[in-house]
Amino acid sequence: MTIDLILTPRDGLTVKDARGFDRAGGIATGGLPWPGPATTAGATRAVVGRLLGLSEVFGQDKRAWKAIAEQVQVQGPIVLTKPLDEARWSPLWPAPQDALRLPHPRAGEDNDPEGRIRWLEPRPRDTTAWHVRGLWGAEPGETAATEGLWLPHPDVQSKPLAHHSLWSDDFMLDWLRRPPRTDRPRDERLAPQPQKRVDIHLAIDPGSLAAKDEALFTHPTYEPLVQTGRGKSVHELALALRVTGSDPGLDLCLPVWRIGGEGRFAAATLLPGEVLAIPEALARSWEDSRFLRLVLVTPAQFEAGWRPDWLEPSVTQGSTYQFEGTVPGLERRVALRAAFVDRAWWTSGWDLAEHRPKPSIACVAAGTVYYLESLAEPFTCADLRELWLGCIQRPGDAAARDGFGLVLPGAWPVSV
């Protein structure tokens, strides 16, 4: 059974990042604006286990908890938003790394916060002028295939702006359907963004009636209600999850879930299936092509580092190397032509069955974009539907069951 859920935080979200901190007084911990896939997957399985009557005491029902971790699959989280006075939710997507945000021409006149978005179109590079750094000890094929990847050649006179972390659903849809060329930048449409407050954690020593140094720190908490635009309209933020494999007799729509740090409460309700379905406008506009973009919308865990594990260096007919493989879910041999990858996103968590912290793992950040070329027949609309919120992790591994590596497919209008 598969159901889509909305998790609505009641008093914000507190999600500490994977960095440790000294237990001295006055330390400000780092936080994330929304939880990672492991956090929401763990919260979901905890609800399933409690509804089944499993004990959370260490050592009890350990085998049953591990069985739930292998059986219950969770896709997400996907950030949702809606105006406070409306009922329909719409997704917010991480800003893709192949977009360049530049100042708007009128920004100097009225301090307009919006920018202009340009596409960083990848093109074949001159291998005699560009060389890869940081691959010491790598296999020759790995280095040669990496040096063969295409690069963007932006002609930009002004300093790029930092991206807003989230894009609206309609803006992302336009980007997937037809990215703007260099000479036709697209005006940015601002979407609601997470807004944080600073909470203070304090504990009193009953003996001295003074604050305990090791329990005195601040941490960021992200609000479920945010103000947007010059009119200061109020939007609500929530998280969408797609849960598969839970007992059909269990009702996961509970008024109280505990998620993230501080065990903060969230209410779970059903999400209409069409909210996360592929937009028909995108499907109708698709033209069969051998070229495709994949945008990560949740972080991914790859043993190979920045590239998916199903891509391996292969020798071409011209005795050169390129990354080739088969996309999970598609019987299609593809070659990687370009990759736009941000710095690593670190994740950790708590292992309920083993009663210990999970090791910190470096993940490929959401917003990473992979450019693929089919080595056989073109990508069709059916492939587009199969890849919408599909998982590009190795099928069956723990990261895939937790919701890592979800992607959105988009067009790649090749001009070379």
Task: Please provide residue 133's backbone torsions phi and psi, each rounded to the nearest 5 degrees.
Answer: -115, 150
In a domain, 341, yes or no: no
Give the residues of the chain that fall short of pLDDT 70.
Answer: 18-26, 28, 106-113, 126-138, 181-183, 229-231, 317-319, 416
Residue 6, domain CATH: 3.30.70
Q: What's the pLDDT at 212?
A: 79
- Six token digits for residue 197: 């407050």
In a domain, 363, yes or no: no
Query: What is d(CA 53, CA 42) in angstroms, rounded to the nearest whole number?
Result: 16
Query: What is d(CA 51, CA 212) in angstroms, rounded to the nearest whole number?
Result: 37
Residue of 342, 12, 297 whose CA lies nearest to 166: 297
* Total number of domains in the chain: 1
Roughly how many angstroms between the first and final C-alpha of the chain, as a whole number? 45
Domain range enclosing 240: 2-92+194-275
pLDDT tens for residues 398-415? 899 999 999 999 999 887
In a domain, 259, yes or no: yes
In a domain, 263, yes or no: yes
Q: What's the pLDDT at 136?
A: 53
In a domain, 288, yes or no: no
- Six token digits for residue 122: 């990848």
Sole residue written with tokens 């296999």? 139
In a domain, 97, yes or no: no
Cβ atoms 146, 132 nearer than 8 A: yes
Q: What's the pLDDT at 318?
A: 66
Cβ atoms 405, 399 nearer than 8 A: yes
pTM: 0.90
Q: What's the pLDDT at 20?
A: 61
pLDDT tens for residues 171-220? 999 999 988 766 677 777 888 888 888 888 788 888 888 877 777 777 78
In a domain, 107, yes or no: no
Q: What's the pLDDT at 319?
A: 66
Angle, helix 62-71 to helix 37-51, in steps of 10 degrees: 120
Residue of 44, 156, 137, 45 whose CA lies nearest to 99: 156
3-state helix, strand, coil in the chain (%, to 5): 20, 35, 50
In a domain, 116, yes or no: no
Task: Please provide residue 285's backbone torsions phi and psi, each rounded to the nearest 5 degrees.
Answer: -85, -5
